[in-house]
Amino acid sequence: MSARNATRSSRLLTAEKIAKTLLPDDELSRLEEQAATATGLKKAWKKSLVTRQYSRRATVERLTRINTDGFDRQVADLDARGFDGPGGGRMSTVMPPVEYRGTSVQVAGIYPWIVGAKAPLLGTPLGRHLTTGAAVGFDPLYAWTMKAITAPSCFICALNGFGKSTLLRRIALGDIARGTLVLVPGDVKPDLRVLAEQVGGQVSEVGYGTGAINPLGRGPIGDAIEQLPAGSLEREKAEFALHARQLNMLCALLEIVRRGPLKDFEETLLASAIRLLYAPGSQFDNAHAARIEDLLTLIAAGPDELRDDAVADTDEEYRGQIKPLLRSLRALVKGRFGETFNRHSTVRIDIAKPMVDLDMSSVPPGDELMRAAVLLAGWNEAFAAVEAAHILADNQVPGAKSIAAHIILDEVWQVIATGSSAVARLDAVQRLQRSMGVALTLVTHSLADFEKVGALGMIERSRARIVGPVPEAELDRLAHFMTFSQAERAMVTGWANDSTSSVEEKKALRQARRTSSGDDGTGAVESKRTAAGVGHFLLKLGEGATPGTPFKVWVPQAERDSGIHDTDARLRAADEDRDTEFAA
C-alpha cells in the first residue's frame, strides 16, 4: 500500500471510530433539553456533552470531505503542509516568518498593525488614490449629507495651470447628475461656460458691452414678495431682507470705486434713500427698477429725512456733507461702471436649469476694480436667486419647491484684494446657512491676499480643503488652520516642482500631441500636460491631524471628447503652428 493510500485509510478509520461515539439525533435533542433545564454543575456538565457531540460531528464531516470530492479519481493527500503530489502545493519545510525588532513607533506599519489608506467615496468620483489606486469621491453637499463634514463648504487652493478648473468641472458634473443646481456666478476666464452649454444650462454675459446687473433691482426676491399675502409677517421679513441685500451690494460697489470704507452716516443715508425710492406710490417697482442715477438724483435733492441722516441744518451744510458720496455715486453712473451697473439688469437666473454660468470674461484682467465689482455683483445675484426660491418654498406657494444648490466662487482673491472692507461685504453677500441647502466652494491660487486683509477666517470656516501643487510658503500659510505631516508637505511641494524640463521630454510631449491630434488638431487633453503634478490634489476633511487623501483627477474619455476640459485651445493652436513652422 502506498503512503498516500495509507494516509487516506487512516483518516477514514479515524472518522469511523469517532462516528461510533456519536449520539443519534433524538438522543442529542434530549441531551440539549436536559442542558437547558438543568442548573449548577449539572447544567455545565450537560452543556459540555452537547458541545463535544457537535465537535465530533464536525470532525467526521471534515475527515470525510478531504478524502472525497465526488469524482472517481485520485485525490491528493492534504496535511498541515499542503496537498502532496503532482499539482499540489505541499511544502516539505515550513520556513519561519521574518522577524523584526524595534520600538512600537518604528514597526507601526508592519503586520499585524497594517492599515489601509483611506479613500472616501463621498459623492462625485474624482479620481484614484495615488497610493492604493482606490476610487476617491467627494463633493461638499453630499459629504455634509453623509455627516463627513459639519458644513457643506469647501476650499480649493493650487497654483495656476495644475487642474483646478478640471476638478471643479468633475464636481459640478456629479452635482448636476444628482439634480443639484450648480451656480457659477463669476466665470472670468471662462472655465465652465462650455460645460453649462453642453448640459443645457443658462449662460449670461456680464461686463463691457454685454450684460448688466442693477444693484438696486428687486430681482427674484422682489418677484417672490409679490406672491406672498399682503400685510403678512413673512412679506415684511422678505422686504427687510431684500432692502438689506440692496444696501449691502450698493455699499460694496461704492467702497470698491472709492478704495476705502463708507462713513457711518453715508450708509444710513443710503438705506433711507433706497427705501424712499421704493416707497408706496413711487414710480419704481419690480417691473421698473430704480437705477443708481435715480438714487443720485434723490440724494442730491435732499429730502428732509436724508438731511436728518446727515445731521445738516442748512442746504450748504448738507451739500458739503454729501459731496464725497455724490462723487462715488457718479463714478458708478459714468464710464465702465455705469455701463454695467447703471442699466436695468439683463441677468435673471433661471433655477429650473441644471447649471447657471455668468460669463464675465469681457472684463480685462488688468481692470482689477471692475473685475472685483462684477464678481461681487454676480455672487449677490446667485445668492438672491436661491433665497427667493426658499422664500416661496417656506411659504408653500403653489408650484414652489426647495432646491439644493452648489455655488462656486472662483477667483475670490480678486475681491479680497480690494481691501479689508470687502471681507465683511462678502460675508454679508453669502448670508446663507446650512439649513438653506446651499454648498459653497471657494477657489484661489494663494492665501497671501487673504492673510494681508485678515480674511483667513473665511478659509478656516471651510470644513473641507483640497490642496493642489503649491510652494512651501503657501503651506506655511495653510498651516494656520491645517496640519500637514512631513510626508504630505514633501508630496504637495513635489507636485509643484516636478516638471518635465528636459529637451527630450518636451520633444516627446510635442510628438504625442501631434500623434493624438491627427489632422483636425483636436488632441486629447492629457497630451498638453507639461508638469508631472497636474491633476494631483490632497483632500483633507474636518479638523486636527487627520491624514489627507492624495488623489489624481481622472477624466473619462467621453468628457475629453466633449471639449469641456479644453481651456487652452488657443495656446495649443499657437504651439502647433510654431512646431509646423520649425519643421518646415
d(C-alpha 255, C-alpha 210), whole Å: 24
Could you tell me which of 377, 352, 542 has the C-alpha nearest to residue 462? 542
Is residue 521's pLDDT more than 50? no
The pLDDT value recorded for residue 110 is 59
d(C-alpha 184, C-alpha 360), whole Å: 11
Quick check: 406 and 456 in contact, CB under 8 A? no
Quick check: 406 and 140 in contact, CB under 8 A? yes
The single-letter DSSP state of residue 210 is: S
Q: Which helix (H) or strand (E) holds 549?
A: strand 549-553
The amino acid at residue 51 is T
- Residues 6 or more apart whose Cβ sits within 8 Å of residue 551: 119, 126, 127, 128, 129, 130, 136, 536, 537, 539
Q: What is the mean pLDDT of residues 443-452?
A: 83
The pLDDT value recorded for residue 435 is 58
Quick check: 25 and 80 in contact, CB under 8 A? no
Q: Is 562 helix (H, G, I), strand (E, B) or coil?
A: helix
Quick check: 223 and 389 in contact, CB under 8 A? no
d(C-alpha 291, C-alpha 333), whole Å: 9
The single-letter DSSP state of residue 211 is: -
Is residue 318's pLDDT more than 90? yes
State the pTM of this model: 0.71
What is the rounded average pLDDT for all residues in the chain? 81
Cα 226 off chain centre by: 35
The single-letter DSSP state of residue 85 is: S
Q: Which helix (H) or strand (E) holds 340?
A: helix 335-341
Is residue 61's pLDDT more than 60? yes
Q: Backbone phi, then psi, for 349, in 5-degree steps?
A: -70, 130
Is residue 196's pLDDT more than 90? yes
Torsion angle of the four alpha carbons 327, 330, 331, 337, in this order, in degrees rounded to the nearest 10: 160
383, three cell numbers = 445668492
pLDDT digits (tens, 9 = 90+) for 526-539: 444 456 788 999 99
Q: How many other CB atoms are found less than 10 A from the CB of residue 285?
A: 12
Comparing 66-75, 152-161, 375-384, 389-398, the range with the smallest average pLDDT is 66-75
Could you tell me which of 198, 149, 204, 240 has the C-alpha nearest to residue 441? 149
279, three cell numbers = 416707497
pLDDT digits (tens, 9 = 90+) for 41-60: 888 888 898 898 888 888 88
Is residue 503's pLDDT more than 60? no
d(C-alpha 495, C-alpha 159), whole Å: 10
Torsion angle of the four alpha carbons 475, 528, 407, 435, in this order, in degrees rounded to the nearest 10: -60
3-state helix, strand, coil in the chain (%, to 5): 50, 10, 40
Q: Which helix (H) or strand (E) holds 307?
A: helix 304-310
Return the domain boundaries, the chain.
Answer: 3-84
Strand order in the sheet with 181-187: 121-122, 135-138, 125-129, 549-553, 536-541, 464-467, 153-157, 438-444, 405-409, 181-187, 355-359, 202-205
Is residue 293's pLDDT more than 90? yes
Residue keyed to cell 459640478: 172
pLDDT digits (tens, 9 = 90+) for 108-131: 655 554 445 677 889 999 999 988
The pLDDT value recorded for residue 271 is 94
Helices 368-394 and 421-430, interaxial angle, to 10°? 30
The amino acid at residue 127 is G
Quick check: 92 and 81 in contact, CB under 8 A? yes
